[in-house]
A = this chain, B = another copy of it.
């Protein structure tokens, strides 16, 4: 807490450009930067700020290892700089140290440009390498942390993780260095952090609390500029934040959409306290953006969902409609001999409510045909899971055929409880380009659906009320194979998100046999998840990129 100073009036207009880049689309992202810069100049900004690695999109992953890619980013950075006036333009880019011969020599950088040139570069110091982050793979840590004097302020510029190591806030710190501490000690009068912070429910509140403590203690205003949009499985929620030097939040960017606003440090703002909505609302908006961006960024204009009559596919088709519009969503009903009458009529009601097109295609003839021709090979062995999977896979066959024929984005409908326990058929109901609710527990699916129905019944009550069933054999329900969902989800949440282990979970749940069984199901189904569609991430620990377990292993065997 040394050496700080407090100015009563700050005199800078900072344009916060909370934009949505496409990874690798350097030309498109450049244009976004220059367009935002032009608009902000018209609005009288002194400094225009874009998020972390905005020029190449975040996370660029192994594209960073391509020399031509880095050169292209470097060239675009120079070109953008050459177009600047006296108004500052700060954005995230990649830089290289061509002198150094040890290590990658590649940096995750913030480039400050004005008067036609790159005037100052601050590289990222703290390089995250946990969960979904692999940045040590690509980037070296900054060799220097400096301030830059600009229009009467001493700017302390940092990048994302740099601001996540405040000794006043964190009990357990990841790094020994604190770049912000250094900038404050060196006399920074204005902090700017450009960020790409992936969404999980609760994360925005955490950012808010952490940054409040930091700005309050350090008595320096902060512009925290976030990107927005979905990048395959990763969702960036936006929610850029501007704090005054009293730890008060002055301005908050929109959630799950692009935003642009001016932070005038001379102006008085009323303090914002509420930074997040209820889980149901946020999760829904996150998933809608996830589906929408996948479509926009890959070129898919229409979506396809297989409706089982259950609540999961009902939620997914609702999300698809919100992302693509009802005229661009197609549903398929694929009954079999085991389908209850309700599963069809309930789905038809949902289809009517949503105003989407559909086909009804029985799997029965193909199922029977397949059983007939496989019979000799089956060698009179008794029926088992094989016949159940076969039905699910014929549904997958139909869905993929329609997806191929009409260029539909096939939305996978499995929830997190199913993906965790392996209660899903590989190449069957797991087919699809994007696992829309693969990070949403079954009990959360119910909550979100109730939220959707809060004003009127969009998802038919019958779908909500019925016992969950795969309908792959007579009178089957999920609870024949799985513990009750409220118990299951509690165990899963402790195991997956809270990183608790068997003993800790049993201490709380008191059901050692069930806990053991659930943990074993999770561990043994890594092979299925390896082959799953990318899962839209809305929790602190989603299946996919940020969770890496060996498929072949003997822990707890």
Chain A residues proximal to chain B, CB less than 8 Å:
22-26, 28, 57, 59-63, 65-69, 101-104, 129-130, 134, 136-137, 172-176, 231-232, 293-294, 297-298, 332, 359, 361-362, 365-366, 369-370, 372-374, 376-378, 381, 384-386, 389-390, 393-394, 396-398, 400-402, 404-406, 426-427, 431, 433, 499, 501-503, 527, 530-534, 547-557
Given A378-B405, A501-B66, A533-B531: A393 in contact with B400 (beta carbons within 8 A): yes
B373 to A550, Cβ gap below 8 A? Answer: no
6 A–B contacts from the bound complex (CB under 8 Å): A23-B552, A59-B550, A137-B548, A293-B552, A361-B374, A389-B404
Closest 5 CB pairs of A and B: A24-B555, A25-B554, A68-B501, A386-B404, A24-B553
Q: Please name all residues of chain B whose beta carbon is closer than 8 Å to the beta carbon of A499 when the two chains form the complex.
A: 65-67
A553 to B57, Cβ gap below 8 A? Answer: yes
Closest to A403 in B: B386
Given A62-B549, A63-B555, A174-B102: A401 in contact with B386 (beta carbons within 8 A): yes
Q: Please name all residues of chain B whose beta carbon is closer than 8 Å to the beta carbon of A385 when the two chains form the complex.
A: 404
Report the minimum CB–CB distance from A539 to chain B (whole Å): 16
- Which of B175, B176, B548 interacts with A134 by CB under 8 Å? B548
Closest to A60 in B: B550
B400 to A397, Cβ gap below 8 A? Answer: no
- Which of B176, B373, B398, B405 interacts with A381 by CB under 8 Å? B405
B534 to A532, Cβ gap below 8 A? Answer: no
Q: Please name all residues of chain B whose beta carbon is closer than 8 Å to the beta carbon of A102 when the two chains form the complex.
A: 172-176
Report the minimum CB–CB distance from A418 to chain B (whole Å): 17
Report the minimum CB–CB distance from A323 to chain B (whole Å): 14
Report the minimum CB–CB distance from A536 to chain B (whole Å): 12
Q: Please name all residues of chain B whose beta carbon is closer than 8 Å to the beta carbon of A369 when the two chains form the complex.
A: 365-366, 369
B101 to A172, Cβ gap below 8 A? Answer: yes
Given A400-B389, A401-B390: A25 in contact with B555 (beta carbons within 8 A): yes
- A527 and B533 alpha carbons, distance in the complex (Å): 8
B400 to A377, Cβ gap below 8 A? Answer: no
Closest to A495 in B: B66
A232 to B552, Cβ gap below 8 A? Answer: yes
Report the minimum CB–CB distance from A421 to chain B (whole Å): 17
- Which of B376, B393, B551 interacts with A359 by CB under 8 Å? B376
- Which of B373, B404, B551 interacts with A361 by CB under 8 Å? B373
Given A359-B376, A377-B359: A232 in contact with B551 (beta carbons within 8 A): yes
Given A176-B102, A393-B397: A23 in contact with B134 (beta carbons within 8 A): no
- Which of B370, B426, B553 interacts with A22 by CB under 8 Å? B553
Given A298-B552, A533-B531, A550-B231: A400 in contact with B427 (beta carbons within 8 A): yes
Report the minimum CB–CB distance from A127 to chain B (whole Å): 9
- A136 and B128 alpha carbons, distance in the complex (Å): 10
Q: Please name all residues of chain B whose beta carbon is closer than 8 Å to the beta carbon of A101 when the two chains form the complex.
A: 172-173
Report the minimum CB–CB distance from A524 to chain B (whole Å): 9
B555 to A23, Cβ gap below 8 A? Answer: yes
